Each structure stands twice: as structure tokens, then as C-alpha cells.
């Protein structure tokens, strides 16, 4: 028996009929056609499949598509805006936070959740916040640097936006 | 891998979920956070004919203070327990344990009811439930934790019985949970918990047998005035852990003694 699922993926509405056993990650890759979300393991451990479900980081290999009914999903494809990389994507590029790149979408989505909860994490907090993601080739040093650099960039642009609006209020 | 096919129904109340479970019979399973069940289904170690999704049952997601008790709804996620001010205030040990279950992604989905019903010997909450004499409430009855965890992956729950709440006593004295593992997000190789309560100590151990263990001999030794390192020698008394890839039985017993000592000493 098929079930109707309506989701919003990166701001776009989708409606499909799916089997109950379809995993959310396969729905994104094979039904919606967004292959940026990867599958790295069979044991819910690697985090390569991490996406945001209503803003919360979730391993999309450990949820069925039918459970996403009515939910808003963000994948790596939803991060860049108007042709500009998201600060996390830019930082992984600048700081060499990847080698093969297989784990990267998951790391970026997990890091984006971490920064939404804690915009200024310490190194320990970054390590703990990314404990659910495994990288087999870069090592974690540059990944942590990337998240630190993105946090700085994001806080900087927020501070700037704050200055602008303060200036606007003054004038 | 892809799970075997199953029927799926989403319940919006406990009554509806029980009715659906009754309709599908023995081969149906409750779907809560899915973080034990879906991995098993992917490996086809579990092939339920039907899943009854309880994620839409709002009444199961609550944290209520009730005099000297704390009533936690079965669908309360690990992340909610970890951040709850009520839990931090009334039973801080539970908030700390919740923060050590899996990783952020696991904590955003997994539920306390799921851990308890699944009864994995390495589950963290069962240890706390057992040592504090918590109660597991279902749609039918209330079961004391000491009668609930009967064997590995085994509880007295019937096929159409749903855990609705786990009820803990309030305890906000000195406490500590130490979870020994190779990687941050791993399950405990061995875990030890200490909680000061009503003038005495409660000591619990994770993953040193087929069920959680309450280390009564350690509690009694402390009561008689033994120092933590002396009392902790009793932690491996009567234990018969099985070895696995990560630890031999002897090593687990060693860890039980060392971690118990540290948990008591570091309890704050
Ligand atoms: C990478 C990883 C690391 C993990 N690390 C830890 C860890 O360190 N410590 C730990 O304790 N856990 C750990 N877990 C397991 C996690 O906490 C699970 O969330 C939990 O074991 C099961 O809860 P759930 O809500 O996901 O239940 P589900 O997976 O949905 O269900 C598990 C079982 O319980 C039954 N069930 C669920 N809810 C109810 C209910 N209310 N009434 C009756 N039956 C019910 C289901 O039918 C099923 O049989 C880890 C999981 C992963 C993937
Ligand atoms: S593919 Fe989801 S955790 Fe590895
Ligand atoms: S960059 Fe290759 S696995 Fe992380």
C-alpha cells in the first residue's frame, strides 16, 4: 500500500505516493532527485545522511519518508543562496575541511544545527556537537577549523546587520 | 539496506494506537524515535508486519512534577530531557544521562519510552530507572523497574501494551554518571551511576549483564561507612558479564569497580 507524503524541501513543496518502508534519505535522493545527501553506513552511525527536519539535525537514513509528512526539510542543496555559498560551505572550502567530500554534506548540516543552538561554540563543544558524524579521510582538525571560521563569519555578518539596523534606527 | 515491507498507521491517541496494535496482532510494533527499530529493520533483524507510529500522540510528550515524583511521558526525546529546566532541577542525573545518549542527531529523535521498551543491556536510562526504583506506566498497569527489565531485550510488555510514562522520584543531591566508551557517541562499554538519596547512596551499573544492575553491596558498604574505594570493590560482586568485541568479562568487572569508585568520588 502506498501513502501520500507532502513535504517542503528547501522551500519547495513536494507531493508523492511512497511505500511505507522508503527511507527518508532514499526519498530525497531517488524520488525528489536531490543526491547531495549521502548514505555512508547501514548502522545509523556515520551521519553522512544528516539533514534538518523542522530545523533539527536528523539522520535521514533512520526515518521513514512517511514520517516526514507535513515537515520542512533542508538538505545541503538548500544551503547556498542566490549563487553564494553558505558561510559553512565557504569555510569548508577555505579551511580545507574536506578531502573526498563524501561526509561533507552531513558535516555541514550537523554543523548548521550546532551553530543554530550555539552560535559561539568552543572547540570541545564543536567536537561534542559533531560526534554523530564520521570522516574517513580529512581528519577532524580542519573540519573543526572550518566550523570555527564559519561561526566567526556568521557572527560577523550578524553583528554587521545589527550595526546597520542600529544605524538605521538612529538616523 | 532496505527494510522488508510493512503496513503503516499513525495513531493520534493511546486508545487508537492500542486498537491498531490489536488489529495487526503479534507482528506489529510501535514506532517511536525509530533509532533502535529502524537500524534493526534495515539489517532485517526485525521484520514487523506493521508499524504503529506514536509520534503524533501529544499526550505522551510531557514532563510533569507531581509532589515527590517526576512523570516523564514516553515520547519525551533525549534532547528535551537534556535541556529541561524541571529535570535539571528535580533529577539532574537524568538530564546529564540524556545528554550522553548517542549524538545530537540521535537525541533529536530517540525517546525515553523507546529505550525502556527496547531494554538493551547497554541502554542508559534503564540503569537509572532501576537504581532509583522508578515505575514504568503502561496503558494497562504500573510496573516497578525491578520487575520490568527481566532479560536482554525482554520486558513483561504485551504485544498491544504501550509505555505511557516513566515515573522517577525527585532526587537532586550529589550524583554522577560515568560512561566508559571508545568514541563519544558510542554505547557504554560499562557505565556507573551514583546518586545520594534519602541519606544513602544508590549505585547502578550499565552493560555488565543481560539487564541493568543495582549494586546493593556497594550501597550497603557505604552505609556502614566504607570509603568509596573500599565500597567500590563490591561493584563486581556477583556479576557475570559476557565479553564482546570491545571488552572481556574480566575487563568489564574491572571497569565496574573503577567507574563506581569514580562516580561516588565525583558525585556533586
Ligand atoms: C548511533 C546511535 C547511538 C546510540 N547510543 C545510545 C546510547 O549511548 N545509549 C542509549 O541508551 N541508547 C543509544 N541509542 C539508542 C537510542 O537511544 C534509541 O533512540 C532508543 O534505544 C530507542 O528509542 P526510540 O524512541 O528510538 O524507539 P524505537 O526505535 O522507535 O523503538 C524501539 C523498540 O521499543 C518499542 N517501543 C518504542 N516506544 C514504545 C512505547 N512507548 N511503548 C511500547 N513499546 C515501545 C518499539 O516497538 C521497538 O521495539 C543509540 C542509537 C544510535 C542510532
Ligand atoms: S547513512 Fe545515515 S548515519 Fe550513516
Ligand atoms: S572527506 Fe572523505 S570521508 Fe570525510
* Model pLDDT for residues A101-118, shown as the tens digit of each residue: 999 999 999 999 999 999
Give me the total of CB pairs closer than 8 Å, taking one residue from chain A and one from chain B: 83
CA atoms A115, A118, A123, A125: torsion sign: negative
- Judge: A67–B2 Cβ closer than 8 Å, yes or no: no
Separation of first and last alpha carbons in chain A: 62
Residues of B whose CB is below 8 A from A50: 105
**Per-residue pLDDT tens over the stretch B6-46:** 999 999 999 999 999 999 988 999 999 999 999 999 999 99
Examine the fold and report which residue of A60, A78, A96 is the final residue of a domain before the chain moves on. Answer: A78
Same domain, B156 and B193: no
Same domain, A118 and A35: no
CA A17 to chain centre: 25
Q: Give the CATH number for residue B260.
A: 3.30.390.50
- Given a contact cutoff of 8 angstroms between Cβ atoms, the answer to whether B32 and B166 are in contact is no
Residue A67 near ligand 1, beta carbon < 6 Å: no
Ligand 1 centroid from CA A107, angstroms:
23
Alpha helices for chain B (secondary structure H): 14-24, 37-42, 78-83, 85-90, 92-98, 104-109, 112-118, 125-131, 145-148, 216-223, 228-232, 249-266
Distance from CA of B7 to the nearest CA of A (A): 7
pLDDT class for A1, splitting at 50, 70, 90?
Answer: confident
pTM: 0.95
Interface contact A67-B34, CB threshold 8 A: yes
Which ligand has the nearest atom to the CA of A50? 2
- Say if A1 is an interface residue toward chain B (CB within 8 Å): yes
pLDDT value at residue A160: 67
Residues B164 and B66 in one domain: yes
A163 pLDDT above the threshold of 90: no
The reported pLDDT for the residue numbered B56 is 97
ipTM: 0.94
Q: How far is CA B138 from the centre of its chain?
A: 16
Task: Give whole-number Cα distances, B3 to A29, A64, B44, B45, B127, in Å.
Answer: 17, 10, 6, 9, 31
**A99 close to ligand 3 (CB < 6 Angstrom):** yes
Task: Sort strands B213-214 and B200-206 into parallel, antiparallel or unpaired.
Answer: antiparallel
A57 near B CB under 8 A: yes
B53 beta partners: B10, B31
Burial of A120 (0-12, 13-18, 19+ CB in 10 A): exposed
Average pLDDT over chain A, rounded to whole? 94
CATH number of the domain that residue A145 is part of: 1.10.150.120
Cβ(B35) – ligand 1 distance below 6 Å: yes
Residues A148 and A66 in one domain: no
Domain that holds residue B42: 7-53
Q: Which residues of A touch B8 (CB under 8 A)?
A: 3, 20, 64, 66
Nearest C-alpha of chain B: how many angstroms from A99?
22
Q: CATH number of the domain that B131 lies in? A: 3.30.465.10
Give SS3 for A73. strand
Task: Tell me, yes or no, whether A128 and A58 share the same domain.
Answer: no
User: Residue A167 pLDDT > 80, yes or no?
Assistant: no
Ligand 2: atom nearest CA of A132 is: 3
pLDDT number for residue B26: 87
Are B74 and B140 within one domain? Answer: yes
The confidence band for A59, taking pLDDT boundaries of 50, 70 and 90, is: very high
A21 interfacial to chain B (CB closer than 8 Å):
yes
Please tell me the residue having the least CA distance from ligand 3 atom 4: A135
Domain final residue, candidates B169, B199, B226? B169
Is there a single domain that holds both residue A43 and residue A123? Answer: no
**Of the listed ranges A67-81, A147-161, B130-144, B237-251, the one predicted with least confidence:** A147-161
Ligand 1 contacts CB of residue B191 (under 6 A) = no
> Which residue, of B102, B137, B169, is where some domain finishes?
B169
Show the low-confidence residues of chain B (pLDDT under 50): none
Please tell me whether residues B104 and B128 are part of one structural domain. Answer: yes
Q: Which residues of B touch A (CB under 8 A)?
A: 1-8, 10, 31, 34-35, 38-39, 41-43, 51, 53, 55, 79, 102-106, 108-109, 183-185
| Containing structural domain, residue A166 | 80-171
Q: What is the pLDDT of residue A171?
A: 42
Q: Give how far A163 is from chain B: nearest CA, Å.
A: 32
Picking from A118, A98, A122, the residue whose alpha carbon sits closest to that of residue A38 is A98
Amino acid at each position: 500500500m502506498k501513502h501520500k507524503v507532502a513535504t517542503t524541501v528547501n522551500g519547495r513543496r513536494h507531493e508523492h505516493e511512497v511505500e511505507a518502508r522508503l527511507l527518508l534519505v532514499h526519498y530525497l535522493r531517488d524520488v525528489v532527485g536531490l543526491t547531495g545527501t549521502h548514505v555512508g553506513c547501514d548502522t545509523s552511525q556515520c551521519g553522512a545522511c544528516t539533514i534538518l527536519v523542522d530545523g533539527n539535525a536528523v539522520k535521514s537514513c533512520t526515518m521513514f519518508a512517511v514520517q516526514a509528512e507535513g515537515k520542512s526539510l533542508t538538505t545541503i542543496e538548500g544551503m547556498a543562496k542566490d549563487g553564494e555559498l553558505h558561510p559553512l560551505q565557504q569555510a569548508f572550502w577555505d579551511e580545507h575541511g574536506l578531502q573526498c567530500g563524501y561526509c561533507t554534506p552531513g558535516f555541514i548540516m550537523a554543523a548548521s544545527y550546532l551553530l543554530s543552538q550555539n552560535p559561539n561554540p568552543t572547540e570541545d563543544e564543536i567536537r561534542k556537537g559533531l560526534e554523530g558524524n564520521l570522516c574517513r579521510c580529512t581528519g577532524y582538525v580542519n573540519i573543526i577549523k572550518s566550523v570555527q571560521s564559519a561561526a566567526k563569519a556568521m557572527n560577523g555578518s550578524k553583528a554587521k546587520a545589527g550595526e546597520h539596523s542600529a544605524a538605521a534606527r538612529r538616523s | 539496506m532496505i527494510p522488508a515491507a510493512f503496513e503503516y498507521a499513525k495513531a493520534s491517541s493511546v486508545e487508537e494506537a492500542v486498537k491498531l496494535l490489536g488489529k495487526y496482532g503479534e507482528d506489529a510494533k510501535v514506532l517511536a524515535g525509530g533509532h533502535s527499530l529502524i537500524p534493526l529493520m534495515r539489517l532485517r533483524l526485525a521484520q514487523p508486519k506493521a508499524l504503529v507510529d506514536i509520534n503524533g500522540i501529544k499526550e505522551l510528550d510531557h514532563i510533569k512534577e507531581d509532589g515527590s515524583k517526576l512523570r516523564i511521558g514516553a515520547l519525551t526525546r533525549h534532547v528535551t530531557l537534556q535541556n529541561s529546566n524541571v529535570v535539571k532541577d528535580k533529577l539532574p542525573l537524568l538530564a546529564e544521562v540524556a545528554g550522553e545518549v548517542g549524538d545530537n542527531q540521535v537525541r533529536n529523535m530517540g525517546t525515553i519510552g523507546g529505550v525502556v521498551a527496547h531494554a538493551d543491556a547497554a541502554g542508559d536510562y534503564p540503569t537509572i530507572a532501576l537504581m532509583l526504583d522508578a515505575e514504568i506506566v503502561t496503558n494497562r498497569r504500573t510496573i516497578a523497574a525491578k520487575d520490568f527489565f527481566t532479560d536482554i531485550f525482554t520486558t513483561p510488555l504485551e504485544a498491544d501494551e504501550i509505555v505511557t510514562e516513566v515515573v522517577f522520584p525527585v532526587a537532586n543531591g550529589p550524583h554522577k554518571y560515568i560512561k566508559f566508551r571508545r568514541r563519544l557517541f558510542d554505547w557504554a562499554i560499562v557505565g556507573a551511576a551514583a546518586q545520594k538519596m534519602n541519606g544513602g547512596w544508590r549505585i547502578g551499573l550499565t552493560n555488565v549483564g543481560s539487564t541493568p544492575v543495582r549494586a546493593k553491596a556497594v550501597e550497603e558498604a557505604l552505609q556502614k561507612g566504607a570509603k568509596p574505594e573500599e565500597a567500590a570493590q563490591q561493584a563486581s560482586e556477583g556479576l557475570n558479564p559476557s565479553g564482546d568485541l570491545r571488552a572481556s568479562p574480566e575487563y568489564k568487572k574491572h571497569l565496574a569497580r573503577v567507574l563506581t569508585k569514580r562516580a561516588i568520588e565525583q558525585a556533586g
